[in-house]
Amino acid sequence: MDKKVVTLQDISCFGKCSLTVALPVISAMGISCSIIPTAVLSTHTGGFTGYTFRDLTEDIQKISDHWKTCGITFDGIYTGYLGSCHQVDVVSDFIAQNRREGALVFIDPAMADNGVLYSGFDSAFVDSMRELCREADIVVPNITEASMLLNTEYKQSGYDEEYIRGMLRGLCALGPRRALITGVSLDSAHQGVMAYDSVDGEFRSYYSENIPDSFHGTGDVFAAVLFGALVLGKDIAAAMKLAVDFTVASIKATVGDSGHRYGVKFEKALPGLMRSLES
């Protein structure tokens, strides 16, 4: 039976992040992907100024109510960037109302990077996101977000594997069965992800070459593939490999284009992703 999912995050009319990544990537994986835009922006926020922003929080419950009258259900719920404590609360209600047995609740607590919160967020937002993460089956922060969720020391570099393992255990202690941390680099030549399953007690990791260039939206690219793979029934190790390899392929398709400042060219990597799912 075909899988049906919904993702709740913002949409930029120009740029490659959040919904403009999640919808095409998840759809290319053969999954029916519904969306709830939490906000509409004229462009993404990285590298642009003067962008427009319209909050759509008050539409979320209305959409949910209509879907209920239609008997619409989902095999997975994926939340990305959320813009306020109130919006987090509304999304929490959506999950409670639409979660069904066996459905995957996947939370990307997108709120910080490189040791600092995104503009407009404060400690109260971190507290709200922490509560939302308790409802997840799997939570996928970067190192900055993990340290903030756990009120633990942030280390940009010079950490060891046990530092990441400790945070993974702490994240699962919040409630999720599984946790995964992105942007893990134990040496300068490699970067990847590490995951922990609190049920079997196993840690798993997958690394690829470290590409020094930085591009907006790569975390969203990774999360979309990881979520899709898990919904399709892939085990966490296979899902991690698929997501990392696709993200790296998307970055490689973009490197060298100095005028490309609105995300990675993930479209060029989609055929390879689809072939990987067929093998």
Sequence-separated (6 or more) residues with CB below 8 Å from residue 244: 192, 193, 206, 207, 208, 222
Closest CA to 38 of 87, 94, 93: 87
Examine residue 274 and state whether it is found in any structural domain, yes or no: no
In a domain, 275, yes or no: no
Residue 11 within any structural domain of the chain: yes
Q: What is the mean pLDDT of residues 209-214?
A: 84
**pTM for the whole structure:** 0.97
The count of domains in the chain is: 1
The per-residue pLDDT for range 146-164, each reduced to its tens digit, is 999 999 999 999 999 999 9
Any domain includes 279: no
> Do residues 231 and 5 lie in contact, with contact meaning Cβ atoms separated by under 8 Å?
yes
For the chain, the residue count is 279
Q: Range of 96's domain?
A: 4-269
Does a structural domain hold residue 64? yes
Share of the chain above pLDDT 70, in %: 100
With respect to residue 15, please indicate whether it lies within any of the assigned structural domains: yes
Greatest CA separation for the chain: 53
| Domain presence at residue 278 | no
Residues 222-246 pLDDT 10s: 999 999 999 999 999 999 999 999 9
CA dihedral 139, 143, 147, 153 (to 10 degrees): 160
* 276 lies in some domain: no
Question: In the predicted model, is pLDDT for residue 260 greater than 80?
Answer: no
Q: How far apart are CA 69 and CA 78, in angstroms?
A: 22
Average pLDDT, the chain: 96
Tell me what the mean pLDDT of segment 67-83 comes to: 97
Please check the confidence at residue 188 and state whether its pLDDT lies above 80.
Answer: yes
CATH assignment of the domain containing 191 = 3.40.1190.20
